Structure 1
Amino acid sequence: MTNQTSSYIERGNPAFFRAMSALFAGGFTTFAILYSTQPLMPTLSRHFHVAPATASLSLSVTTATLSIAMVIAAGLSESIGRKRLMKWSLVLSSVLAILLAFSPNFGVLLALRTLQGIVLAGLPAIAMAYVSEEFAPQSLGVVMGMYISGTTVGGMVGRIAVGMLSDAFSWHVALAVIGVISLLCAIWFWVSLPLPTHFQPSPQRLGSLLQALWSQLRNPGLLCLYVIGFTLMGGFVTLYNYIGYLLMGPPYNLSQSAVGWIFIVYLMGTLSSTWMGRLADRHGRANMLVTSIAVMLCGLLVTLVPELAVKIVGIAVFTFGFFGGHSIASGWVGRRATHSKAQASSLYLLFYYIGSSVMGALGGIFWSRFAWNGVVAMIGLLIVCALGFALFVPRVRSQGGAAA
């Protein structure tokens, strides 16, 4: 028993820092690539002579294929191994990111972005399962927080840095630079992440994969966490989708560049995901998840204040709460799942990205009919829903009989 316990990656172990940095690099690469075309949509419209709605496909086709491919990737990882699939996911998506810079037409660009969504799925679908299997239980919160921190920094770079590089040079250079940086991060991930020691290959057929997914959906505790991921991400994307419309109109009249820099508050997510994860290890996941969601709601309400500086503070507080809650909820999935952990994690992310797509689009109806107050009301309902499920999770016993 002692040997099994010591085989986990623990603080003080030489592999701990390398593993943490590798997971950060993996999260950074995935989200830098995923969101790299979002700030370039107006440029793509002009360059390829396509409508804005068509240009938006450069992001939506990637997130759509990502959400579906994650479920398949989780099953593949049970057969070919966690690290093997994650490292090739990062390398191939980085190579595609470089090729993207040389797209001769919009059709080729969309085809490459579709492939990126499929290939990118290899890391987010498996990272949570790897962490829950290989790290000591008392370190899960801080490790998962570091991974989420990498995704927040990557998402921020994918939106801000690409826009600046395209202004200074061209969109070709911007995408190529992101691709090269991502490839370097992928190489670091490859050489730094320790090989799994607790993973046991178990080749799966389609029937067994569907059975594993269904068993996770029948787990009440996991289902609550999936709904929390859906509602939190739905509210988060909705706020960022429509805050720009508010701030670019009167009385603020901010420029597109100025609004784009609001994504700098993603740094709050880097802080909160690690810090709240550490607090969750000390004070309990349930307590800190409820706290994170409550902070998110407070930040949302602050955005109703007319003063611009106060609104930005509200957005920062909202972002802090979101990433703290997401870090805790996603890490908790690995603890609640008693088997097929990769499938359990992939289902969380499937709900997470569906929330982004569905609620982000629905928010447009509330914006058109009720302006910002309507958007806040919709997001508020989602957050209250998440809060209710967060309070319910500790009351549900895991399938193994323990209340996790």
Structure 2
Amino acid sequence: MSRRARTALFLLGLCALLNIYSTQPLLPDLARDLHVPVGRSTWTITATTLGVAVMAPFAGSVSDYLGRKRVMVAAIGATLAATLACAVAWNFAAMLVCRFAQGLLIPFVFAVAVSYIAEECAGPAAQGANALYVSGTAFGGFCGRFLSGAVTERFGWRSSFVALALVLLVTLAVTAAWLPRERRFRRSHSLLASLQGIGRHFGNARLLGTCFIGASILFLQVGSFTYAGMRLEAPPFALSSFEIGAVFAVFLVAVVVTPLTGRLISRIGRLRTYVLVSLVSLAGLALTLIPSTPAVIVGLAASSTGVFSGQACAIGYAAEAGGPAKSSAVGLYLTSYYAGGSIGAVAPSPLYTAAGWSACAGLLAAVVGVSALVALVVWQPAAVGRPQLIEEPVYD
């Protein structure tokens, strides 16, 4: 795969996570200016993840009929418009509508990009491309949060959405110019035929188990950064919006480490890799319990690295487990993934209110442990991480 194509894949990953959690460092500002409690302001995250969960099963089917690159380019342009709309939201309800619209559009990038990789690459090449793409999502998660926090600190939260729109504009231009058109894509003869493939996945135990693992992964990520961020804003830490946004620089560790996950999967298998990265996340959660800003930051770095490496394990297996209906399988996975994120944004709230961050960390650790047990059951070693002997396509 050419360097330009790899750059486009990385930016597609960035685009997939750029907007979803961009309001995390802004929650106190949004609550104050839009006249809602801070706890309710977390719905600016949930609205977007719910939008993704609603649309994800259908995005791949639409691209089965219309084509991969065409759908992704159109979706990035529409997301850019929805992001600008957030900047002019006049009340909390309008903000939620705009954020939900962003969520509806994101699967047309996220799910379709994964299907594109599964079709255009194979074996170790596919694992490497998936890891690069997930690395892009890690950078997008950092960029969205950090940029929002930095711009809000100086110019206010409305300007932060304009800054994110500029990033989307660059992604749109690079994707349109550098991403090769799909070569192995086989167009569905009708949209209805593509949609009918979704129902067949509900009898696929391995795919459903992988969907649960995906939900657990994002539950951990959203829950940890949302409520650890609130903890860092409160005494004795008392960090500003900019400083909380800067904490998301820990995502850069995942940007570097995640591409190596593809190699690790090829060497020791997907199951062992997932168990290993789950242990890294658990160790990170333990570190966040230490009442020290450096310890919390290092803990979040370890936790997020485990999350993105786990995502590289799970999303590639979802595409494999879907068989011929890869796009709808990935769509179902993403629905579960973002549904888990939606729950992770709000479910720990009562625990945080009643017992603080330590109770939240205990809940998140339990979810990680259950997901590892599910992986042990549904990811059979003989079927996991085994490269397919298909030559990687050459891009001009």
Flag whether TM exceeds 0.5 (same fold): yes
Partner Cα distance (1:367, 1:335) in 2: 38
1-side partners of 2:175 and 2:378: how far apart?
Answer: 34
Q: Which residue of 2 aligns with 1:239?
A: 224
Residue 193 of structure 1 aligns to which amino acid in structure 2? L
- Is 1:30–1:90's contact at 8 Å kept on the other side of the alignment? no
Deviation for aligned residue 1:389 = 1.7
- Of 335, 341, 345, the residue aligned with 2:330 is 345
The answer to whether the aligner puts 1:301 opposite 2:292 as a matched pair is: no
Aligned match for 1:226, one of 208, 211, 215: 211
- Whether 2:134 is the aligned partner of 1:148: answer yes
2:112 to 80, 103, 126: 126
2:83 to 88, 97, 108: 97
Shift of 1:154: 1.4
Q: Which amino acid aligns with 2:309?
A: G
**Counterpart code for 1:275:** L
Q: Does 1:329 align with 2:314?
A: yes
- Counterpart check, 1:158 vs 2:144: yes
Q: 1:126 to 1:83 in 2, by over 3 A?
A: same
**Residue 294 of structure 1 contacts residue 387 of structure 1 at CA under 8 Å; is this kept in 2?**
no
Task: With a CA cutoff of 8 Å and minimum separation of 6, indicate the structure with the bigger relative contact order.
Answer: 2
Residues 248 and 165 (structure 1), Cα distance of their counterparts in 2 relative to 1, 3 Å cut: closer
Query: Deviation at 1:253?
Result: 4.0
1:229–1:355 contact (8 Å) kept in structure 2: yes
The residue that corresponds to 1:9 in the other structure is none
Gaps spanning 5+ residues in structure 2: where?
Answer: 389-396
Matched with 1:382 is 367
Moved more, 66-75 or 108-117: 108-117
Taking the aligned partners of 1:247 and 1:109, their CA distance within structure 2 comes to 25
Return the offset for 1:240: 1.5
Q: Which whole-Å CA distance do the structure 1 matches of 2:156 and 2:242 have between them?
A: 16
The 5 Å alignment of 1:158-177 reads 158-177=144-163
Q: Which residue of 1 aligns with 2:64?
A: 78
Q: CA deviation at 1:277?
A: 1.9
1:190 matched to 2:215? The reply is: no
Alpha-carbon contact 2:285-2:361 (below 8 Å) kept: yes
Identity among equivalent pairs (%): 29
CA gap of 1:111–1:357, structure 2 versus 1, over 3 A, is closer
The aligned residue for residue 4 of structure 1 is none
Say which SS state the counterpart of residue 67 (structure 1) adopts. helix
1:396 deviates by 7.8
Residue 317 and residue 179 in structure 1: after superposition, are their counterparts in 2 closer, same or farther (change >3 A)?
same
* 1:169-221 alpha-carbon deviations (Å, 9 max, x no partner): 23343322221221121110111111111111114455x55642232221122
Query: Structure 1 pair 60/333, CA: closer, same or farther in 2 (3 Å)?
Result: same
Pair 1:64-2:50 in alignment:
yes
Q: For residues 105 and 163 of structure 1, what CA distance do their matches in structure 2 show?
A: 20
Aligned counterparts of 1:170 and 1:340: Cα–Cα separation in 2: 45
- Listed one character per residue, the Cα deviations across residues 64-94 of structure 1 (whole Å, up to 9, x for unaligned) are 1121112121111111111111111112211
Q: CA deviation at 1:42?
A: 3.5
Q: Determine which of 298, 316, 325 is the counterpart of 1:313.
A: 298
Is 2:9 the counterpart of 1:29?
A: no
Q: In 2, Cα distance between the equivalents of 1:236 and 1:34?
A: 12
Aligned mate of 2:74, from 88, 93, 96: 88
* Aligned positions of 1:180-219 closer than 5 A: 180-204=166-190, 206=192, 208=193, 211-219=196-204
Larger Rg: 1 or 2? 1
Q: Residues 387 and 58 of structure 1: is their aligned pair in 2 closer, same or farther, counting only changes over 3 Å?
A: closer
- Tell me if the contact between 1:220 and 1:396 (Cα under 8 Å) persists in the aligned partners: no
CA distance in 2, matches of 1:352, 1:339: 21
**Alpha-carbon distance between aligned partners in 2 of 1:286 and 1:115, rounded to the nearest angstrom:** 36
CA distance in 2, matches of 1:354, 1:111: 18
Q: Quick one: distance in 2 between partners of 1:384 and 1:338?
A: 28
Distance 1:27 1:182 in 2: 11
| Letter of the 1:118 counterpart | L
Matched positions, count = 386
Are residues 1:290 and 2:275 paired?
yes
Cα deviation per residue 1:237-291 (whole Å; 9 max; x = unaligned)?
2111221343344444444443332211111221222111222123322221221
CA distance in 2 between partners of 1:182 and 1:371 (Å): 36
Residues 46, 341 of structure 2: 8 Å contact kept = no
Matched residues in 1 for 2:50 and 2:261: separation? 29
Kept in 2, the 8 Å contact 1:394–1:403? The answer is no
1:286–1:393 contact (8 Å) kept in structure 2: no
**Any idea what SS the aligned residue of 2:72 has?**
helix
TM-score using structure 2 length:
0.88
- Consecutive unaligned residues of structure 1, counting only runs of 5 or more, are 1-14
Alpha-carbon distance in structure 2 between the residues aligned to 1:66 and 1:268: 26
In structure 1, the partner of 2:244 is 259
Following superposition, the deviation at residue 309 of structure 1 comes to: 2.4
